[in-house]
C-alpha cells in the first residue's frame, strides 16, 4: 500500500474518530471554568463554567503524583464537559489536557514531513483502535492496523505512520499497515539482491546465541545456524565470532510467510573436503591446536577449516587416562599423526601417542624374561590382575598368582598392593607383559619332588575324571594324573570321585607342576617283587605267591 493511496479510501476516518469521541465524552465541549469550592470530604470540586448550573469534577483529576491537590479555590482551568448528573454538568480536566496537547500537536504538524510514532493500543472503538502515544490519542482504523480479528491487541505496542490530520476536527489517523508494507518491500528488495548475487555478500554479526547467530545484511536480519558456520561441522559460534564482526554470507532460503532468512558462512567459502587428498593423507605428522576438550577425547584444529578428533585412547600409551584435560589444554599446540580420513562422513581422526616412544619398547630395553620386579596392583579382574610397572602394565593371570589352583588373584591381592613378580613374557608387538607371582615361591610339586622319586608307591583320592584319565589328590597337596591306559586292572567306568587308588610314581616335573602315576606299572612292579621272592623260596609255587600278593 502506498502513502498516496490512503486518501482515496472510501472511509472518513476523521468522522469515524469524532463519532467515537462523542460517544465516549458525551459532547466533549472545551470550556474555561473557575474553581469555586474544593471538598476533600466529597472528593470533588465545584467549578463555575459560566452556565446556569455549576459543574462538578472528581478531585482525583486535580491531584499530583503525591496525592496533593494542585489547585486552589479561585484558580481558572480548562475542562471538557463529558456529561450531566441531574442538571449539573460533569467535567474532565484530564480530557482538557489531552485536548490541549492534541491541539498543540496539530498546530505544529507539518504535512510536508513524515511522522512515525510509537505507542500502545489502549482501547477499541467503532472502526478501529485508539493508540496512546505519550498522552496523545491517535485513531488507527482496523483496515490499517494489520491486526487479526481473532487477536486482542489491547496493551500491544505498535509503530505507525501518521497518514491523516484533520485540523478542524482535531483528529489524527495513523497506519501500521503502511509501515509493515514498506518493511516487506525493503526486505524483499534485500532478499532479491542477495539471491541474485554471484558472490557472497557482506553482513555484520548482530547477536550470538547457542544455536547460531543473527547477521544483518542490508538492514535485514538472517540466521546463520551453528551447523552453517564451518565445514568442520556444528560449532559454538561464540568461539569464532563476536558481535560487530563482518562476515561473508550466502542466502540458503527465505520463508516469506514466517519472514525467516537463512544464511550460511561455510557456503561462502570453498569446502576443504573437495581437495582433501591434496591437503593431507593417512600417516602425515602435522601440528595442530587443541580447540575443545571432552571427557571422551579432544578436537583439534588443522587449519584450512578442518577439524579432527583425538580419542582419549590415542592421547597416551597409558591405558588409564582418566580425562584428556590431564594431558591437554585448549589452545595448546601438539604434534599428531593422521590415522583416518573418512571422506564419506567428512571425519578425521588423529593420534598423539603414535608420535611418542612406546613404553613397551623402553621397558623391553631395560628388562628381560626372568627378571624379578616390584609393581603396584592397578586393577583386579575376573581373569587376573594388572600390575603397574613404571610406564607400562603387566598382566598377572590367575593361574600365575598362586600354586593353589582354587585361588584367584582377587582372593590374594587388592588394588594398591605392592607385589613382587617375575617377568615370564614380553610381547613388544602387541604391547603385553606377562607376570608370575607363584614362580617366586616354591611349588608344592617341588616340595613333593624333594621327598619322592619315580618308583615310589603312593595312595591318592580320585579328584576328577577326564576322557584321557583320572586325577588323584595326594596327601602332600599335589595332584597326579593316571592316564586311561595306566588304570588297568581297574576299570575306568567303575571309578568314582573320592575313591582311594594306590599307584606308583612314573613321572615328576616339579617346574611344570606335572606328576603322573600308574596302577598298571604298579602291578608289574609287584610281579617283579613276587618273582624275586620266589627265587629266594623255591618251595612256594609261583601261582600261590601271586595270589597272596594280589589279595
CATH of the domain at 14: 2.40.50.140
Residue at a domain's end among 160, 185, 210 = 185
Specify the range with the lowest mean pLDDT, choosing from 132-136, 181-185, 454-458.
181-185
Q: Do 477 and 464 fall within a single domain?
A: yes
How big is the chain, counted in residues? 551
Say what the pLDDT of residue 27 is: 44
Residue 422 has pLDDT above 60, yes or no: yes
Residue 13 has pLDDT above 60, yes or no: no
- Residue numbers of the domain that contains 460: 445-525
CA-closest candidate to residue 232, choices 290, 309, 158, 150: 309
**More confident call, 125 vs 288:** 288
Say what the pLDDT of residue 11 is: 45
Say what the pLDDT of residue 541 is: 54
- The Cα–Cα gap between 274 and 343 comes to 9
Say what the pLDDT of residue 182 is: 86
Say what the pLDDT of residue 531 is: 77
**In degrees rounded to 5, what are phi and psi of residue 128?**
180, -130
Say what the pLDDT of residue 544 is: 58
Report, as an integer, the average pLDDT of 18-29.
48
Number of domains in the chain: 5
**More confident call, 204 vs 548:** 204
461-516 confidence digits (pLDDT tens): 999 999 999 999 997 788 999 999 999 999 988 999 999 999 999 999 987 889 99
CA-closest candidate to residue 136, choices 164, 97, 165: 97
How many Cβ atoms are within 10 Å of 508's Cβ, its own excluded? 19
How many Cβ atoms are within 10 Å of 99's Cβ, its own excluded? 19
Q: Do 74 and 101 fall within a single domain?
A: yes
Say what the pLDDT of residue 366 is: 92
Say what the pLDDT of residue 359 is: 87
pTM of the predicted protein model: 0.46
Q: Do 348 and 365 fall within a single domain?
A: no
Task: For residue 154, tell me if it sits in a domain.
Answer: yes
- Give residue 499's Cα distance to chain centre: 66
Q: Do 262 and 367 fall within a single domain?
A: no
Say what the pLDDT of residue 223 is: 93
Q: Provide the sign of the torsion angle of the four alpha carbons 446, 447, 450, 453, taken in this order.
A: negative
3-state secondary structure of 515: strand
Residue at a domain's end among 185, 212, 246 = 185
**More confident call, 308 vs 259:** 308
Q: Do 37 and 175 fall within a single domain?
A: yes
Which segments of 349-418 does DSSP mark as H helices, in order?
359-366, 409-412
Task: For residue 321, tell me if it sits in a domain.
Answer: yes
Q: Do 13 and 83 fall within a single domain?
A: yes
59-82 confidence digits (pLDDT tens): 988 988 888 888 999 999 989 888
Say what the pLDDT of residue 24 is: 44
Report, as an integer, the average pLDDT of 306-330.
90
CA-closest candidate to residue 517, choices 490, 547, 550: 490
Residue 379 has pLDDT above 90, yes or no: yes
Terminal Cα-to-Cα distance of the chain (whole angstroms):
128
Residue 325 has pLDDT above 50, yes or no: yes
Task: For residue 513, tell me if it sits in a domain.
Answer: yes
Query: 226 is written with which cell numbers?
Result: 551453528
| 224 burial type by CB count under 10 A (0-12 exposed, 13-18 middle, 19+ buried) | buried
Say what the pLDDT of residue 25 is: 41
Amino acid at each position: 500500500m502506498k502513502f498516496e493511496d490512503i486518501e482515496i479510501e472510501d472511509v472518513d476516518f476523521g468522522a469515524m474518530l469524532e463519532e467515537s469521541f462523542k460517544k465516549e465524552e458525551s459532547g466533549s465541549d472545551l470550556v474555561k471554568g473557575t474553581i469555586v469550592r474544593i471538598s476533600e470530604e466529597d472528593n470533588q470540586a465545584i467549578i463555575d463554567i459560566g452556565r446556569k448550573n455549576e459543574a462538578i469534577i472528581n478531585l482525583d483529576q486535580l491531584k499530583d503524583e503525591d496525592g496533593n491537590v494542585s489547585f486552589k479555590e479561585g484558580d481558572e482551568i480548562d475542562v471538557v464537559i463529558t456529561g450531566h448528573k441531574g442538571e449539573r454538568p460533569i467535567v474532565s480536566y484530564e480530557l482538557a489536557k489531552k485536548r490541549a496537547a492534541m491541539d498543540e500537536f496539530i498546530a505544529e504538524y507539518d504535512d510536508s514531513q513524515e511522522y512515525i510514532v510509537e505507542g500502545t493500543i489502549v482501547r477499541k472503538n467503532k472502526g478501529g483502535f485508539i493508540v496512546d502515544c505519550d498522552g496523545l490519542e491517535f485513531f488507527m482504523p482496523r483496515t490499517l492496523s494489520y491486526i487479526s480479528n481473532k487477536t486482542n491487541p489491547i496493551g500491544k505496542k505498535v509503530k505507525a505512520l501518521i497518514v491523516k490530520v484533520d485540523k478542524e476536527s482535531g483528529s489524527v489517523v495513523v497506519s501500521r499497515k503502511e509501515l509493515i508494507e514498506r518493511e516487506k518491500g525493503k526486505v524483499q528488495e534485500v532478499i532479491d539482491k542477495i539471491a541474485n548475487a554471484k558472490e557472497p555478500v557482506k553482513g555484520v554479526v548482530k547477536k550470538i546465541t547457542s544455536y547460531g547467530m543473527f547477521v544483518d545484511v542490508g538492514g535485514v536480519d538472517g540466521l546463520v545456524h551453528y551447523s552453517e558456520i564451518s565445514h568442520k561441522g556444528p560449532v559454538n559460534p561464540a568461539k569464532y565470532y563476536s558481535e560487530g564482526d563482518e562476515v561473508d554470507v550466502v542466502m540458503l532460503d527465505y520463508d516469506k510467510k514466517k519472514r525467516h532468512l537463512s544464511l550460511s558462512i561455510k557456503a561462502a567459502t570453498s569446502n576443504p573436503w573437495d581437495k582433501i587428498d591434496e591437503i593431507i593423507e593417512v600417516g602425515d605428522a602435522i601440528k595442530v591446536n587443541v580447540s575443545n576438550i571432552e571427557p571422551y577425547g579432544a578436537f583439534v584444529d588443522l587449519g584450512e577449516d578442518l577439524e579432527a578428533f583425538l580419542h582419549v585412547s590415542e592421547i597416551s600409551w597409558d591405558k588409564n587416562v582418566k580425562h584428556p584435560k590431564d594431558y591437554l589444554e585448549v589452545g595448546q599446540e601438539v604434534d599428531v599423526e593422521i590415522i583416518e580420513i573418512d571422506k564419506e562422513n567428512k571425519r578425521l581422526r588423529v593420534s598423539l601417542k603414535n608420535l611418542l616412544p612406546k613404553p613397551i619398547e623402553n621397558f623391553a630395553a631395560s628388562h628381560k624374561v626372568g627378571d624379578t620386579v616390584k609393581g603396584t596392583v592397578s586393577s583386579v579382574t575376573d581373569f587376573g590382575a594388572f600390575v603397574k610397572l613404571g610406564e607400562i602394565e603387566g598382566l598377572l593371570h590367575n593361574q600365575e598368582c598362586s600354586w593353589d589352583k582354587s585361588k584367584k588373584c582377587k582372593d590374594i591381592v587388592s588394588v594398591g598392593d605392592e607385589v613382587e613378580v617375575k617377568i615370564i613374557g614380553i610381547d613388544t608387538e602387541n604391547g603385553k607383559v606377562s607376570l608370575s607371582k607363584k614362580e617366586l615361591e616354591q611349588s608344592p610339586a617341588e616340595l613333593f619332588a624333594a621327598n619322592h622319586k619315580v618308583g615310589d608307591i603312593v595312595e591318592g583320592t580320585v579328584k576328577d575324571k577326564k576322557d584321557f584319565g583320572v586325577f588323584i589328590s595326594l596327601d602332600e597337596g599335589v595332584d597326579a594324573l593316571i592316564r586311561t591306559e595306566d588304570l588297568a586292572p581297574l576299570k575306568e567306568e567303575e571309578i568314582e570321585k573320592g575313591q582311594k587308588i594306590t599307584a606308583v610314581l612314573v613321572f615328576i616335573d616339579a617346574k611344570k607342576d606335572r606328576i603322573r602315576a600308574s596302577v598298571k606299572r604298579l602291578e608289574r612292579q609287584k610281579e617283579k617283587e613276587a618273582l624275586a621272592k620266589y627265587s629266594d623260596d623255591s618251595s612256594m609255587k609261583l601261582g600261590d605267591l601271586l595270589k597272596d600278593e594280589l589279595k
